[in-house]
C-alpha cells in the first residue's frame, strides 16, 4: 500500500487536481486499491485534500450484452424476413430472442410492412438494407464511448432495459497544506528517549481518536440452563436441602433399576429406552448384603406385598447403563442414612445432573438432559407434603400455573406427574414425576418402619424453556444452539 500512496502523491505533484477514477485508469489499478492508498495518505496528515465526488456512467444490462453479441431485436426480425415474405406467426418463431419487441421496432422504423393484397397477410421487407444503430450504440457503450451518444437515446435504451445507469463515488484530490511526495511515518508512542534527547520536538505524532470504540473486552456468558440451574440450587438450599453427590454417569442396573423395585422384564430396561454400556459391561459395585433383600422384595414381596413372582437374576442386575435418572443416587443415600452410626435421622436431599435416555428427539425431548432430583425422608409425611413442597418451590421460580395428575411408577405409590403451562406452545407440558416411595423399595434399604419418603424428578430444560420463552428444546441445548442467543441473553429476568 505504501507504493500506491507514493505514486498518488507523485501524480498529484505532476498533474495537479485529479479524480480517483481517472487515477485508477492511469495506474491500471482497481479503484478500491487507489481509495485505500488515499486513506493511508490521509492517516499521515494533511498532505492532500479530498473532496467527495460522484460520476454517472452507463453500462450494459444482460439484454444489452445479448444485443452486443447477436445484434438488436429489430435487426434480427428484419433478417428473418425472406424476399418472398413470411407469415407473422412463423416470423415470431424465427425472429430472434425477443421477436415481439423486434417486430414492433422494425415496423416503426419502416423496415417491414404487412402485405394483405394476396389473401393471407404476409410480412415483407420495405427496404433492402438497414443500419443496426442499436448495435452500434451498444458497441460504443462497451468501449467506453458513451459521450458520443445523445442522452435522449440513452434514456430510451434505459426504458428498453438495454442500458442501466450507475453512480460511482470517488474523490477529487488536490495538494494539501502539508503536501509532500514522500510519506512520513507518524509516531504513536512518546518514549523516555524522545523526551531526554528533545527529539520529540521534530517528530510528528499520530492523533488520538477519542471516538473509537476500541476492542470489546473478552468475556464469558452463562447459558440460560446454567442460570436456572443455579436458581434451582439456591432455592433448594434456602429450603434446607443438602446436595447429593452425582458424579457417576455410568450406573449399574442394580442401583438404576433393581434397588428401585423396577422388575427385570420392565420395558424401561429395553435397549430402545436405555443406553447399555459395552465396556465395562458388568459391575459389582453394590453391597452384597443388600442383594438378598432386593431379590426377596422382587420375588416374594415384603410387608404384605406378593412381589413380582419371577426369578430375579443377578447377572441382569450387574449390567452397566448410562443412568436413566438420578433416583439411583437417592436409593444409595437412603441406604447410607439407614445404616449410619446412631440410626436413622430425617433428611432432605437434592441433586441436579445429567441423565440419558434413548428418546425420539422432538421439540420437548432430548436423549441427554438434566434431572432435578429431590427426596425427603421423615416420620409421618404424606402426599400433601409433596404437593406443598412443589408449590413453594415453583412459586419461588415465578411459575404458578401447575397441575398434578395421577400416574403409575414401579417404585412410588401414590404417584403423580407435574405439569406447567407453556405460554409459547400454548399447552401444558410435563416437567416431572413424583410420588411416595413404596415399602418394597424402602424395607430392603433398611429404612425403619413408620418413615415415609417423598421423592420427585424434575426436568431442568422445560422450566428453562418456560422462563425464557423458548419453544424448541433443541434451541436451548445441543449442536444446533445459536451461541448469539447465549451471548445476548439478559443478565437477569424481571418477572412483573
Domain ranges of the chain: 1-72+137-214, 76-131, 224-488
- Label each residue of 172-240 as H, E or C: EEEECCCCCCCCCCCECCCCHHHHHHCHHHHCCECCCCCCCCCCCCCCCCCCHHHHHHHHHHHHHHHCC
Q: What mean pLDDT is predicted for residues 342-356?
A: 92
The candidate with the shortest Cα–Cα distance to 258, out of 187, 208, 308, is 308
Buried b / exposed e over 210-227, threshold 16 CB at 10 Å, is eeeeeeeeeeeeebbbeb
* pLDDT at position 91: 85
Q: Which helix (H) or strand (E) holds 441?
A: helix 439-445
* Of 65-74, 157-166, 299-308, 482-491, the least confident: 482-491
* CATH-assigned architecture of domain 224-488: 2-Layer Sandwich (3.30)
8 Å CB contact between 5 and 183: yes
From CA 77, how far away is CA 81, in angstroms rounded?
7
Instruction: State the pairing for strand pair 242-243/347-356.
Output: parallel
* pLDDT at position 149: 86
Instruction: Kindly state the DSSP code that residue 361 receives in the 8-state scheme.
Output: P
Q: At residue 267, does pLDDT exceed 60?
A: yes
Alpha helices in 143-183 (DSSP H): 151-159
Contacts 24+ apart (CB under 8 A), 360-368: 361/474, 363/425, 363/471, 363/472, 363/473, 363/474, 364/429, 364/462, 364/465, 364/473, 365/473, 366/461, 366/473, 366/474, 366/477, 366/478
Confidence at 88, pLDDT banded by 50, 70, 90:
confident
Q: What mean pLDDT is predicted for residues 168-190?
A: 84
**Pairwise pLDDT comparison (490 vs 347), residue with the higher score:** 347
Confidence at 496, pLDDT banded by 50, 70, 90:
very low
Q: What mean pLDDT is predicted for residues 148-162?
A: 88
Confidence at 470, pLDDT banded by 50, 70, 90:
confident
Query: Is 385 exposed, middle or buried, given 0-12, 13-18 or 19+ CB atoms closer than 10 A?
Result: middle
**Pairwise pLDDT comparison (386 vs 465), residue with the higher score:** 386
Confidence at 1, pLDDT banded by 50, 70, 90:
very low
Q: What mean pLDDT is predicted for residues 11-15?
A: 88
Confidence at 273, pLDDT banded by 50, 70, 90:
confident
**Pairwise pLDDT comparison (260 vs 430), residue with the higher score:** 260
Residue 59: Cβ within 10 Å count: 13
* pLDDT at position 346: 93
Alpha helices in 95-191 (DSSP H): 99-108, 133-142, 151-159
1-72+137-214 in CATH: which number? 3.30.1370.240
The candidate with the shortest Cα–Cα distance to 319, out of 369, 253, 273, is 253
Q: Which residues pair with 171 in a beta bridge?
A: 52
> Which pTM was predicted?
0.56
Residues 6+ apart with CB under 8 A from 334: 375, 377, 442, 445, 447, 453
8 Å CB contact between 332 and 255: yes
8 Å CB contact between 354 and 248: no
**Pairwise pLDDT comparison (431 vs 344), residue with the higher score:** 344
Buried b / exposed e over 96-119, threshold 16 CB at 10 Å, is bebbebbbebbbeeebbbeeeeee
Fold of 76-131: Arc Repressor Mutant, subunit A (1.10.10)
Q: What mean pLDDT is predicted for residues 182-195?
A: 82
* pLDDT at position 319: 93
Q: At residue 219, does pLDDT exceed 90?
A: no
Length of the chain, in residues: 496
SS3 247: coil
Q: Provide the mean pLDDT of the chain.
A: 87
The candidate with the shortest Cα–Cα distance to 455, out of 491, 416, 404, is 416
Confidence at 186, pLDDT banded by 50, 70, 90:
confident
Confidence at 414, pLDDT banded by 50, 70, 90:
very high
Residue 439's Cα: distance from chain center in Å?
49
* pLDDT at position 271: 66
Amino acid at each position: 500500500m505504501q507504493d500506491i500512496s507514493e505514486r498518488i502523491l507523485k501524480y498529484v505533484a505532476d498533474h495537479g487536481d485529479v479524480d480517483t477514477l481517472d487515477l485508477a485508469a492511469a495506474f491500471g489499478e482497481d479503484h478500491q486499491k487507489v481509495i485505500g492508498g488515499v486513506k493511508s495518505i490521509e492517516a499521515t496528515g494533511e498532505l492532500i485534500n479530498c473532496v467527495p465526488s460522484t460520476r454517472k456512467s452507463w453500462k450494459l444490462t444482460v439484454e444489452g450484452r445479448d444485443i452486443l453479441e447477436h445484434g438488436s431485436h429489430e435487426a434480427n426480425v428484419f433478417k428473418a424476413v425472406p424476399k418472398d415474405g413470411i407469415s407473422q406467426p412463423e416470423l415470431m418463431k424465427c425472429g430472434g430472442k425477443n421477436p415481439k419487441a423486434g417486430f414492433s421496432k422494425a415496423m416503426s422504423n419502416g423496415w417491414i410492412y404487412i402485405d394483405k393484397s394476396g389473401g393471407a397477410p404476409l410480412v415483407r421487407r420495405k427496404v433492402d438494407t438497414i443500419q443496426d444503430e442499436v448495435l452500434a450504440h451498444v458497441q460504443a457503450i462497451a468501449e467506453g464511448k458513451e459521450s458520443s451518444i445523445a442522452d435522449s437515446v440513452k434514456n430510451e435504451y434505459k426504458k428498453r432495459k438495454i442500458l442501466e445507469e450507475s453512480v460511482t463515488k470517488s474523490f477529487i484530490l488536490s495538494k494539501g497544506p502539508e503536501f509532500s511526495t514522500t510519506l512520513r511515518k507518524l509516531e504513536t508512542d512518546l518514549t523516555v528517549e524522545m523526551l531526554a534527547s528533545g527529539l520529540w520536538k521534530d517528530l510528528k505524532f499520530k492523533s488520538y481518536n477519542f471516538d473509537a470504540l476500541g476492542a470489546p473486552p473478552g468475556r464469558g456468558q452463562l447459558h440460560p440452563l446454567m442460570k436456572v440451574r443455579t436458581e434451582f440450587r439456591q432455592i433448594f438450599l434456602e429450603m434446607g436441602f443438602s446436595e447429593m453427590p452425582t458424579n457417576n454417569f455410568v450406573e449399574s442396573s442394580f442401583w438404576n433399576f433393581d434397588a428401585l423395585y423396577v422388575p427385570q422384564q420392565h420395558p424401561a430396561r429395553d435397549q430402545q429406552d436405555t443406553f447399555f454400556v459395552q465396556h465395562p459391561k458388568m459391575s459389582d459395585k453394590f453391597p452384597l448384603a443388600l442383594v438378598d433383600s432386593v431379590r426377596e422384595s422382587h420375588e416374594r414381596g415384603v410387608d404384605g406385598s406378593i412381589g413380582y413372582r419371577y426369578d430375579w437374576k443377578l447377572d441382569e442386575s450387574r449390567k452397566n447403563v448410562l443412568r436413566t435418572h438420578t433416583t439411583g443416587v437417592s436409593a444409595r443415600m437412603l441406604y447410607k442414612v439407614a445404616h449410619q452410626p446412631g440410626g436413622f435421622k430425617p433428611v432432605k436431599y437434592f441433586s441436579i445432573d445429567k441423565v440419558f435416555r434413548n428418546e425420539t428427539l422432538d421439540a420437548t425431548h432430548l436423549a441427554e438432559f438434566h434431572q432435578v432430583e429431590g427426596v425427603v425422608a421423615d416420620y409421618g409425611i404424606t402426599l400433601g407434603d409433596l404437593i406443598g413442597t412443589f408449590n413453594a418451590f415453583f412459586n419461588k421460580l415465578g411459575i404458578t400455573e401447575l397441575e398434578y395428575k395421577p400416574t403409575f411408577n414401579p417404585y412410588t405409590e401414590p404417584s403423580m406427574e407435574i405439569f406447567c403451562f407453556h405460554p409459547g406452545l400454548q399447552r401444558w407440558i410435563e416437567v416431572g414425576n413424583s410420588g411416595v416411595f413404596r415399602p418394597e423399595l424402602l424395607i430392603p434399604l433398611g429404612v425403619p418402619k413408620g418413615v415415609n419418603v417423598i421423592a420427585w424428578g424434575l426436568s431442568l430444560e422445560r422450566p428453562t424453556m418456560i422462563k425464557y420463552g423458548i419453544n424448541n428444546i433443541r434451541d436451548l441445548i445441543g449442536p444446533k444452539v445459536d451461541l448469539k442467543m447465549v451471548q445476548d441473553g439478559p443478565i437477569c429476568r424481571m418477572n412483573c
